[in-house]
Amino acid sequence: MPSRSDWGALRAFAILGWRRAAAEGLATLMRGGLNVLALGIFWGFWQATPLDELGRRDLTPQRLIWYLAMTEWIVFTTGVPYREIEEDVRSGAIAIGLSRPLGYAQACLARWGGGVAFRLPVFAVIGFGAALALSRTVPLAPTMLLTGLISALLALTLVHLCHLMIGLGATWTGSATPVHWIWQKGLFVLGGLIIPLHLYPAPLRDIAELSPFAAMLSAPASLALDPSPRHAATVLTLQSVWLAVLAACAWLMDRAATSSLIERGI
Amino acid sequence: MSYVITLLRMSVGSAFVRPLAASSAVVLMLANNLLFFITFVIYFGNFSSLRGWVREDLALLVGCTCWAFGLAVFLTGGIRDLANMIASGGLDGYLGRPRHPLPALLLSQSIPAGLGDMVSGVLFWTVFAHRHLAELPLLLLVGTLGAIVVGASATLFQCLAFWLSGAAVLAEELFEMFMMVAYYPENPFSFAVRLLLLTVFPAGFVAMLPAEAVRDADPRKLVACAAAALVYAGLAWLVFERGLRRYTSGSRIIELR
């Protein structure tokens, strides 16, 4: 359990993360533009798709664009935070982080949390605004909005725990970028970034649904396709299980990376 | 020409100074592209076509994008760092040389992962798009024309640093946006969007038009690709020249001495 001074330090790092995110005005705006562009591309894409071939009435371009708006919301809010750790390892600045009373990983997560707190509403306005303008519908009932937000926050926590582990991997490999490429494509494909998982062929769908990637993207976005309370409960349970698993993995990896850096140096 | 070849030899050689890291970057980029394509395999597993385009056409398009992007960053990796060089005064060292600084800047580094993209391109064309080996010279030609457009567009984005402070992030974001658009089929779009992608934001010349030139065996589209490569390369050169007139030294020459 963090002490009172630890809480103070975590708060300070979160504020630092918020301020840094707020200072990236132009970059945030550009990412917002990229988000809108992606939604525009796939709006055209889904409208040109012969969806009637599926024989399902629930899959419309409107619902699919909201599904994408949800997955893109998580992707754009996250950015590529693992690069900060990679850069710290490369430049040796991680030594300063390790000498602080607050753990390096905790400080990173707090700083990223502050950044997320800034970007989450910004990209919600941009992405959902674009989805609304394109589809002229909102598939989520107002009572489910809170569930959607909780699910998105759980998804973002899972994604950031993965970024923490990818970044810490640079302690051994020097560069975490190639691992990130593979992880990112795993997230896009097994997480169902563009296409909902239930459209996947049977063996791949089973693998994807059992993977943590589904809890990061498909689970919260599937609320746009099935907003029933029963489905919401399944989604939140799945995400909570993966949160416990990934938090334990991140804790073990942080300990291993710290020991390696202390014993072996940078 | 011998100057360019010497620069190329040096930058490619330096990219493979750490052969294990470079080779793993090549292999992982190849895996990265194959994983990306799974999305389209799933799509065409559910739907018969996308406005007349089938999986093989998408493989042709993705192959063109991979080859164009890979070739551009493998040979002219300096395109990703131009804005930083301008902002930090790093041009000083290049301006002191007897040759024009742009080729040396573009050829200042080679990104080995680009080789993985190039291999992916050939794989997409021959294995997934079922294109005959006899078509490979044409595919390499259209892909290379696309690479020139990628290089020219990246240079144009990076040259914003001559006029805007903090343009490095903006240039990178614009380039990512450009490549993202190039990766997806543009045939579902309206005439206005296609026009935009063939003029101010020329992502259409990276893969869409090259893929259509091969798919439809249309020599007019091939000529359009070649003309676009020439026009955008010339434009990049002109904008860089204009930018140089505004460039203020970062006094890095003192560091060099």
Tell me what pLDDT residue B221 has. Answer: 95
Task: State percent of chain A over pLDDT 90.
Answer: 56
Confidence of residue A141 (pLDDT cuts 50, 70, 90): confident
Cβ contacts of A169 within 8 Å, gap of 6 or more: A176, A179, A253
* Sign of the dihedral through C-alpha B217, B220, B221, B223: positive
Q: Do B181 and A37 touch (CB under 8 A)?
A: yes
Alpha-carbon span A246 to B164, nearest angstrom: 42
B130 phi and psi angles, rounded to 5 deg = 55, 40
- Give chain A's mean pLDDT: 90
On the question of pLDDT at B54 being above 80, the answer is yes
Q: Give the count of Cβ contacts less than 8 A between chain A and B.
A: 92
Q: Do B39 and A26 touch (CB under 8 A)?
A: no
Model confidence pTM above 0.80: yes
Alpha-carbon span A7 to B160, nearest angstrom: 43
CB atoms within 10 A of CB B193: 17
Contacts of A181 in chain B (CB under 8 A): 28-29, 31-32
Q: Which of residues 118-157 of A touch B (CB under 8 A)?
A: none
Tell me what pLDDT residue A145 has. Answer: 85
On the question of pLDDT at B255 being above 70, the answer is no
- Range ranked top by mean pLDDT from A25-29, A177-181, B52-56: B52-56
Name the residue in chain B with its Cα closest to that of A182: B32
Alpha-carbon span B172 to B94, nearest angstrom: 22
Q: Do B188 and A200 touch (CB under 8 A)?
A: no
Using an 8 Å Cβ cutoff, are B60 and B135 in contact? Answer: no
Alpha-carbon span A138 to A221, nearest angstrom: 13
Interface check A92 vs B, CB under 8 A: no
Alpha-carbon span A198 to B150, nearest angstrom: 36
CB atoms within 10 A of CB A201: 11
CB atoms within 10 A of CB B89: 16
Average pLDDT over residues B126-130: 95
Confidence of residue A87 (pLDDT cuts 50, 70, 90): confident
Task: State percent of chain A over pLDDT 70.
Answer: 99
* Token pair for B51: 């406005």
Structural Rg of chain B based on CA atoms? 19
pLDDT in tens, B193-205: 777 778 888 889 9
On the question of pLDDT at B251 being above 70, the answer is no
Q: Which is more confidently placed, B182 or B126?
A: B126
Interface check A172 vs B, CB under 8 A: no
Name the residue in chain A with its Cα closest to that of B43: A195
Using an 8 Å Cβ cutoff, are A76 and A159 in contact? Answer: no
On the question of pLDDT at B252 being above 60, the answer is no
Using an 8 Å Cβ cutoff, are B204 and B186 in contact? Answer: yes
Q: Do B36 and A185 touch (CB under 8 A)?
A: yes
Least confident of A110-114, B75-79, B151-155, B244-248: B244-248
Q: Do B188 and A54 touch (CB under 8 A)?
A: no
Q: Do B50 and A189 touch (CB under 8 A)?
A: no
On the question of pLDDT at A4 being above 80, the answer is no
Name the residue in chain B with its Cα closest to that of A199: B46
Chain centre distance of CA B92:
26
Tokens 């385009």 belong to which residue? Answer: B53
Cβ contacts of B214 within 8 Å, gap of 6 or more: B60, B131, B135, B138, B139, B142
* Token pair for B89: 């005064």
Q: What is the DSSP secondary-structure string of B63-92?
A: HHHHHHHHHHHHH-GGGGTHHHHHHHTTTH
Tokens 């989604």 belong to which residue? Answer: A235
Q: Do B180 and A54 touch (CB under 8 A)?
A: no
Nearest to B169 among A26, A49, A54 (CB): A26
pLDDT in tens, A108-125: 999 999 999 999 999 999
Interface check A234 vs B, CB under 8 A: no
Packing angle, helices A61-78 and A104-135, rounded to 10: 150
* Token pair for A204: 């791949």
Best residue in A41, A46, A65, A134 for a mutation probing chain B (most B CBs within 10 Å): A41
Tell me what pLDDT residue A119 has. Answer: 95
Average pLDDT over residues A71-75: 94
pLDDT in tens, A212-246: 999 999 999 998 888 888 999 999 999 999 999 99
Residue B3 CB-density burial (10 A; 0-12 exposed, 13-18 middle, 19+ buried): middle
> Which H or E element spans position A130?
helix A104-135
Interface check A207 vs B, CB under 8 A: no
* Token pair for A80: 């590529």
- List the end-to-end C-alpha distance of chain A, in Å, as a whole number: 29
Reading phi first (left if > 0) and then psi (alpha if -120 to 50, else beta), residue B97 is in beta
Nearest-Cα distance to chain A for B26, in Å, is: 9
Best residue in A189, A193, A200, A218 for a mutation probing chain B (most B CBs within 10 Å): A189
* Token pair for B107: 């050829």
Q: By three-state DSSP, how is residue B198 classified?
A: coil
On the question of pLDDT at B143 being above 50, the answer is yes
Q: Do A185 and B35 touch (CB under 8 A)?
A: yes
Tell me what pLDDT residue B257 has. Answer: 45
Contacts of A178 in chain B (CB under 8 A): 24-25, 28-29, 113
Tell me what pLDDT residue A266 has. Answer: 65
* Token pair for A257: 């990376």
Q: Do A45 and B50 touch (CB under 8 A)?
A: yes
> Which H or E element spans position A17?
helix A4-23
Name the residue in chain A with its Cα closest to that of B40: A195
Nearest to A48 among B21, B113, B188 (CB): B188
Tell me what pLDDT residue A1 has. Answer: 64
On the question of pLDDT at B105 being above 60, the answer is yes
CB atoms within 10 A of CB B181: 25
Interface check A187 vs B, CB under 8 A: no
Best residue in B17, B18, B20, B28 for a mutation probing chain A (most A CBs within 10 Å): B28
Average pLDDT over residues A9-28: 91
On the question of pLDDT at A153 being above 60, the answer is yes
Alpha-carbon span A124 to A130, nearest angstrom: 10
Tell me what pLDDT residue B180 has. Answer: 80
Alpha-carbon span B206 to B147, nearest angstrom: 7
Q: Do B38 and A195 touch (CB under 8 A)?
A: no
On the question of pLDDT at B102 being above 50, the answer is yes
On the question of pLDDT at B145 being above 90, the answer is yes
Least confident of B34-43, B87-96, B108-117: B87-96
Residues of B with CB under 8 A from a CB of A: 21, 24-25, 28-29, 31-32, 35-36, 38-39, 42-43, 45-51, 113, 166, 169-170, 173-174, 176-177, 180-181, 184-185, 187-190, 193
H-assigned helices in chain B: 2-15, 19-46, 55-75, 82-88, 92-95, 101-106, 113-123, 136-158, 167-183, 191-197, 208-215, 219-246, 252-256
Using an 8 Å Cβ cutoff, are B78 and B102 in contact? Answer: no
* Token pair for B178: 């450009």
Alpha-carbon span A259 to A255, nearest angstrom: 6
Interface check A55 vs B, CB under 8 A: no
Nearest-Cα distance to chain B for A123, in Å, is: 16
